[in-house]
Amino acid sequence: MGYDSLYRERAHLASLVSRMYPSEWCVDEDNGEDWKILYVHTPEGQVSWHIASIDWDLFGHVTKSSRAANEIWDGHDADEKYRRIGLLYRLPHPGP
């Protein structure tokens, strides 16, 4: 995976979502220490993103999981992730 400014922008948004709902992370075993996988557990289901280590300064609030990625991931794909995010638009804000 390469890196550019769009990843940084996406990381800011993922960081915001991860502050709103319970979240955890693990190392992306397929890509090594350079990438982590962020899992956010929303009322509409899990969503996840691969986050470059260079952007991890935005995620100090997220706890490392004791589980491996294959134990955390619920099987969602990108289409399902965006469907779940779309459902969140209709929920009241979870608060500070």
The confidence score (pLDDT) of residue 33 equals 75
Which residue, 44, 39, 43, is CA-closest to 70?
A: 39
Residue 3 within a domain = no
Strands 32-42 and 23-28: antiparallel
Determine the structural domain holding residue 36 and report its residue range: 23-88
The confidence score (pLDDT) of residue 3 equals 60
Model confidence over 14-40: pLDDT tens digits?
999 999 999 999 998 887 778 999 999
| Local mean pLDDT, 10-residue blocks, the chain (96 residues) | 78 97 92 88 97 94 94 96 91 62
Residue 82 within a domain = yes
Residue 44 within a domain = yes
Residue 2 within a domain = no
Q: What is the pTM of this model?
A: 0.86
Q: How many domains does the chain have?
A: 1
Residue 68 within a domain = yes
The confidence score (pLDDT) of residue 84 equals 95
Residue 74 within a domain = yes
Residue 27 within a domain = yes
